[in-house]
Structure formats: C-alpha cells, structure tokens
Structure 1
Amino acid sequence: MCRPEVGRLPSRGRLTLTLSAHHLMVSLGLYTVMPVLALVLSRQAPGTVGPGLFCYTASAGLGALLVSRWLSRRRYLPTMIAGSVLAATGFGFLPYAGGAVGSLALLLTAGLGMSVHSLLSRVLVAEIVAGAIGRQRVYSTLMVAINIAASIGPFLAMATYQGGDTRPLFTVVAGCYLLAGASLLCGVRPGLRMPVSATRWPISRTTLHTTVREVTGRATVLATLVGTFLYAQLSSAIVLLLADEIASASMRAVLLATPAVGIVVLQTPATAVMARLMDRGVPPFVFVCAASLGFGGAMLVLGSGLPPAAGIITAIVLFTLAEPFFHSPVSTAFAGLASGPRLEVFNLRQVCWTAGEALGALCGGALFLLLHRNGHGHIYWLILGISSVIAIAPLVTGVRMPGVSVSRAMR
C-alpha cells in the first residue's frame, strides 16, 4: 500500500466536508433519475427495463474494475472529476438515445462514471482515516449527505418529469453531476494519488484466497451479496409495484423518499450504537447481516397477502429502519479486511455489491414484472424473504470472534 505523504493529507474534517458536498450533488442526480428510470425505459425503449437497469447497475459497480490497472497511482482529483463528467454525459444524452442500443450504451457510460467516483471516494477515506470506528463515522456522514439528496430526488423527479418529456429531467440530472465534480476542487488536494496495485488484475488471487479462507471475509462477502440483492428491489420491483398500486404521484414520491429521510434522521444515533458495539468487539459485518434480515422481512411483508397499500407502507418502514445499519457498515467491513491492499479489497467490495444489486435489479425489473402481471407477485416476495433468512441467520449465530461469540458481544 502506498499512502500519500502525511504532510500533504487534508484534515479529516475538511475531507469529510468536501466529500459530503460531492456525494450530496452526485446523489441528487442519481436519486432524481432512479425513481423514474424504470418508467422512462418502459416508454422510451419497451422491453429494456430489466436489461437497462442491469446494464446501469453492473456498470456502476464493475466499471472501475475494467480500468483498475489504469487507476493505480492516478491522482484522485482529476480522476473523480472525470467520473462525474462521464455520468453527466451518459444521463444527459439519454433523451436523445433513439432506441434500445443507444439507451443501453448511455446507461453503461453513466454507470462507469459512477463506478469511478464510488471506488475512489471510498478508497480515499480508507487511506486517510485510521481505525474502523473513525472510518465508520466518515462513511456514516457521507450516508447522511447521500440521503438528504435521496429524500429530495423523488420530488425533483416529479417536478421535472411531466407530460412524457424527459429532457428537463435529464438536464437537471446532468447539471447535478457537473456540480459534484466541481465541488471536489474545494478540498481534495491535486497531488493525492491512489495506492499502487500489486497485480495486473483488479483483485489478485492471493486476496481472493485469503478472503475465502477467513470466516469474517466469507461472512462479509455473503452478507453484502444478499443485502444488495434485496436492496435493489427498492428501485426496481417496488417502483413498478408502486406505479400499479398507488395512483397518486405525490404519494409515490413520499414513499420513495421515506427511507432516505429515515437515514438522515437515524444514521447518527445508529452510528453511535454501532461504534459502541464495535468498541466491544462486534465486527462490522454483523450490522450488514442485521440490515439484510430487515430487508428480508420487508419482502415477507409484501408476500404476506396484506392489502397492497398496507404491505408497501410496512415494507418501506422496514427498509427505513434497516438502511442505517447497511450501507456504511459494508464499506467499514471491507476496509477492515486484512486480505490484501485496500484498492483490491474495495474492488472486491464493488464486485460483491454489483453482483447482488445488478442481479436484484434484473430480477426486479423482469421476473417480478412477469409474475406480477400474471397475478403471482406474492410468490416473488416470499421466495426472496425466505431465502434471505436461510442465507443470513447462520452468519450471525455461527461466527465467533477471538475469545468471544457474536451473540455474547451484542449483549
């Protein structure tokens, strides 16, 4: 690992403030488009909802891995700005795509920009901030900024996407990404560089083998895969369910914004609880497992036979309560793995996150839609909920830390 010279490091406070502003604008663009992207694709290029969501999600997660060797030792500032510009370009030109192929190509471009931004910002925090608790606090602060934007995004989407004309919507989205790139000039020093990669591959064989051999590493990977698959339903299958079952656009916007508002309100107390438990020895992946079980509970509610409106509201409440224990602990858990260099470890995080989220978006935009239109949508939710409990529960109850069990540490 190659760290920047200590004298050239920004303070943690300045770094947190700058990255918070950056993530705020990136997320305002992202969460303005995501609540309506499935609907836009269904009208602009029928039949591409599932593939389109899959292409964007896969590119947003794995795009940076394709240029990982090139990213090694690159300067953070210009590379992160380039990522923001790519995302602005992909989304900004989407109204003019003219068909399925153009739409998918632009979604891949936007995803690549998001992937570069996401990877570099997390590695930068892991390189500069020492200790799991310190990193957790920074990642949690970023999650608050992200979800302030996410709570505004659905309403901005509702205001700018009217009458079927998507140009105002995507102009606003592109502008948010350009402002996000410009915000980095306020606090990221131009000379800071990414750590050196020890291999030509994004993830070395040694890092993979070490992760698989470690109990904590395996649990972190599996919990992330399951959690992201379930979380992807919020922007795919649940959006489609809302469109069918909730007639009011304002009500749909309120429901989609609720989890984001919940993180803004709950993230700080949740972080305090997690910091206290981590100080007692609870590993961060345990929080990822708990959140994933919460997401699974939401799936079970949707498949339980409750009236659609009641089921949707209850499920979104469960998502809202679980999310503060999911996003930032995933980054903290991977940052703490001793499997290899941090760039490789975060590349592995990207693979796990993307595999779960992309497959979840594909299933939510294709399989759920097929079952729902044939009157069997509840089967989809029940399969997801039961499978999540079977996969996650053994991780929480079976993993032991040195000299203390997880269940004992959480008491």
Structure 2
Amino acid sequence: MTSPQIQQGESSEAEPARRLQASLALDTLLGSLGLYSVIPVLGLLLAAQSDGSGTAIVGTGLFCYTASAGLSATLINRWLPELDYRRGMVGAVLLSAVAFGLLPYTTAGWALCGLLVLAGFGVSVHFLLSRVLVAEVVSGSIGRNRIFSLLQIAVNASATVGPFAANLLYSPSDPRTLMTMVALCYAAAGAVLLPGLPRGRSPLATSGKWPVSRQILLRTLRTPTMLRVVLTGTLGTFVYAQFYSAFALYVGREFTSTLLRSAFIAGPAVLIVVLQPVMTAVSSRLLKNGTTPVGILGYANLFFGASMVTLGLALPPVVGAALAVLVFSVAEMAFGPMISTAFAALPIESSLEAFNLRQLCWTTGEALGALMGGAVFLTLYDKGDGRLYWEALGIVTLLATGLLRWSARRVAAGT
C-alpha cells in the first residue's frame, strides 16, 4: 500500500508539470494564432506598405523573417543560459508583439526588414526555450511526447483559424486592425506563460561557445544511435518540406477550384487537430513496448515516402491528392512531436545543445527540401514528368529509411 507521504510527494511534483503544460498549450495557441493570422498576408502587407520598393521588399522581407525565425536563437547561444526561462520566453513573445505591431507604422524598406528580423528573433528564442524547458522539466520520452503532441495540436488549431482572421481583418490601405490583433495575441501568450514557468531556472549552458560544439558533432558521428537520430530527422524534414513547396505548387497548377486547393492545403492541419490524440496514444504504447523515439521517426518517414509514391501513381488527380494528404497527415502526426522527443533523449548533457542540433537538422532539411520542391519539381512538371518527381522522391525516401533501420538492427545485433 502506497503511503500518504509518497502520494503527497508525487502530487506536489505533478502539479508544476500540469501548470507548465497548460501554460505552454495556451501560449502556443495564442502565439500561433497571431503568426498564422499574419503569414498568409505578410507578402501583401509588405508590397502595400513599402515606399516604392516593389516586389524586391517582399522577397527580402519574407527571407528576413524566415531566416531569423529559423536560426537566430542559435546565434545567441552563449547568452541564453544567462536568462531564466521566465525572462527569456516572455521577453521573446513580447518582442514579437512589438515588432509585428509596429509594421503598419513604417514604410521604409530597411525598417520593415528590421522589424521582421526582430519578430523572427522572438519566435526563434521562444520556440527553442520552450522545447528545452520541456526536455529539462519532464522526464521520460512518453511524458515529453505527450506535451509536444499537445503543442502540435495547438499550432494546427491556430493554423486553421488564422487565415480566416487574416482575410477578415486585413486591409491593404490600413493593416493596423490586423496587426494590432496579432500583437495582442503575442502579448496574451506572454501573460499565460507566467503561471506555469519555473522561477529562477535557466537552461544548462552548452559545452562550448558554438550552438553545437565540435566535441558533440564528433560524438554524433562516432555514435551510431545519435547519428541515426540526426539522419532520420533530417530526411523526414526534407520530405516534410515537399508539402509546402512541391505539393502546394502541384495543387496550384493542377486544380482550378479555390475550394479544392484550400481543402488540400488545410487538410493536414484539420486532421491533426482531430486525430493527434489517437496518434499520441499509439506512440505512447509503442514507447512503452520498447520502441525508441527514432524508431517511431522511421515509421513516420515510411508514411512520408508512401504519400509521395501515392502522388506518382496513375490515379485521378483528386483521388491521388486526397490519399496523399491523408497518408502525409498520419506521418506528420507521428513525426512532429517525436522529432523533439528524439533529440531530447540524446545523451547530450545540455538540452539547449541538443535542441540546437535539432534546429540545425530541421533547418537544413527544410531548406533543401523547399529548394528541391520549388525548382526540380516545377522543371519536371512543366515537361509533363511531374509523376517522375513523386515516384523518385518516394522510392528514395523508402529505401533510405529502410537502410537506416537495417543498419540499426545490424549494430544492435553486433553489440
């Protein structure tokens, strides 16, 4: 029989974790609502707001935001441990609130780009610290994956609502209404964070001045299990990026119905909101039965590859696209939370350094995937060989995933 003292101790330990989970979920929901309300019209806003810079400022501004949101947190790696989580995370979302809120009040190209760099900086720091905090506070892959899954639901719920808010509130002649709403979303995200964040706790410093030290990189190359996480995660991110590059271009070229285009692009977000709890339960069962996080990433990559192959089959375009979206959504439900879970489980002393490595892998895979999806796919599609792209990409993904799984079994058998 469990003693009352033990039960009371477990309850007192669980309460901060529950507060943290609730705060992070609300924070992610509100911050993502702000982000997905501005992203669909950001290019239009820049074109309308700039003082004669024309299309140049649109491309430059979007690049400034994307690059900053993806990598800027890793550039200040050596200073992040000097901030506790409360100051770092709340300060980051407030910085994004101010930067987005000021966009309607300037027309100078340099100022617009500067504000977008600051907005992306806040998004980057907040994302990194929130994942590191979960890795440090929550023990075990099952508990971490549940929280990362909850955050994925929050992101995708906002992704389904945000575009409607953008269309309702955005006006090229006066974007202040929309951007005020965006700023308020980020400010509210900061407010809901406060009750759940631990006081006086900071991320553990990395082992060197760089985001990922040479020592950790060498250890990764020499340790098969660590290298498999990096390769599997980067491969999955590469294929994941095809949905928002090659597939989006395919839908835009292949279908004339605006409703159909929107349904295909929004499909994964809607399915994730509805079905993510089921996938989380499946992943938890697999983890309990001994499957490793990288093993589940491998299963996700098989589904990613299958979704690409589906597009290459001689199916009616509507049927092929619908099946591909369904299979892709299953893959994303498993892959999105599990990639953070897998990197959190790496034998790296600093969770900050582990997630810096995750961010480098994600950015590399996503950038290369978007480049190939935007350039190679269009070239083949315009020549009438679009199916060849999907077939080749799907087969290569399946073979690479199979090779990684085979090498893992071979290493395990030899130890």
Same fold at TM > 0.5: yes
Give the 3 Å change call, closer, same or farther, for CA 123–48 of structure 1 in structure 2. Answer: same
Show the 5 A alignment for 1:354-393.
354-369=363-378, 372=381, 377-393=386-402
Residue aligning to 1:4? none
Q: 1:170, CA displacement in angstroms? A: 4.3
Is the 2:206–2:212 Cα contact (8 Å) retained in structure 1? no
Query: 1:306, 1:52 → 2: CA distance?
Result: 39
Which one of 9, 21, 26 corresponds to residue 21 of structure 1? 26
Matched, 1:207 2:216: yes
| Larger deviation, residues 30-39 vs 323-332 | 30-39
Query: 2:360, 2:189 → 1: CA distance?
Result: 24
* Equivalent residue letter for 1:59: S
Is the 1:295–1:319 Cα contact (8 Å) retained in structure 2? yes
Query: 1:287, 1:117 → 2: CA distance?
Result: 26
* Equivalent residue letter for 2:22: L
Residue aligning to 2:16? 11
Give the 3 Å change call, closer, same or farther, for CA 402–355 of structure 1 in structure 2. Answer: closer
Aligned to 1:330, the other structure's residue is in SS state helix
- What's the CA shift string for 1:71-110, capped at 9, x where partnerless? 0131111211222133334544556775876665544333
Is the 1:91–1:170 Cα contact (8 Å) retained in structure 2? yes
> Whose radius of gyration is greater, 1 or 2?
2
Is the 2:237–2:362 Cα contact (8 Å) retained in structure 1? yes
Matched, 1:347 2:356: yes
| Structure 2 residues not aligned, in runs of 5+ | 1-11
| Structure 1 residues not aligned, in runs of 5+ | 1-6, 406-411
Query: 1:108, 1:306 → 2: CA distance?
Result: 43
Show the 5 A alignment for 1:6-405.
11-35=16-40, 46=55, 55-92=64-101, 105-161=114-170, 168-304=177-313, 306-369=315-378, 372=381, 377-400=386-409
Query: 2:405, 2:43 → 1: CA distance?
Result: 35
Q: How many residues align?
A: 399
Q: 1:161, CA displacement in angstroms? A: 4.9
Give the 3 Å change call, closer, same or farther, for CA 94–387 of structure 1 in structure 2. Answer: farther
TM-score, normalised by the number of residues in structure 1: 0.83
Query: 2:89, 2:179 → 1: CA distance?
Result: 21
Is the 1:299–1:315 Cα contact (8 Å) retained in structure 2? yes
Aligned-pair identity (%): 46
Query: 1:99, 1:216 → 2: CA distance?
Result: 50
Give the 3 Å change call, closer, same or farther, for CA 30–231 of structure 1 in structure 2. Answer: farther
Query: 1:149, 1:219 → 2: CA distance?
Result: 32
Q: 1:289, CA displacement in angstroms? A: 1.9
Q: 1:128, CA displacement in angstroms? A: 0.8
- What's the CA shift string for 1:122-153, capped at 9, x where partnerless? 11111111112221222222222222222323
Aligned to 1:197, the other structure's residue is in SS state coil
| Larger deviation, residues 125-134 vs 80-89 | 80-89
Q: 1:321, CA displacement in angstroms? A: 1.5
Query: 2:341, 2:94 → 1: CA distance?
Result: 27
- What's the CA shift string for 1:341-390, capped at 9, x where partnerless? 21111110111111112333344445545555565544543443233223
Query: 1:114, 1:232 → 2: CA distance?
Result: 19
Q: 1:119, CA displacement in angstroms? A: 0.7
Is the 1:154–1:257 Cα contact (8 Å) retained in structure 2? no
| Larger deviation, residues 171-180 vs 335-344 | 171-180
| Larger deviation, residues 348-357 vs 302-311 | 302-311
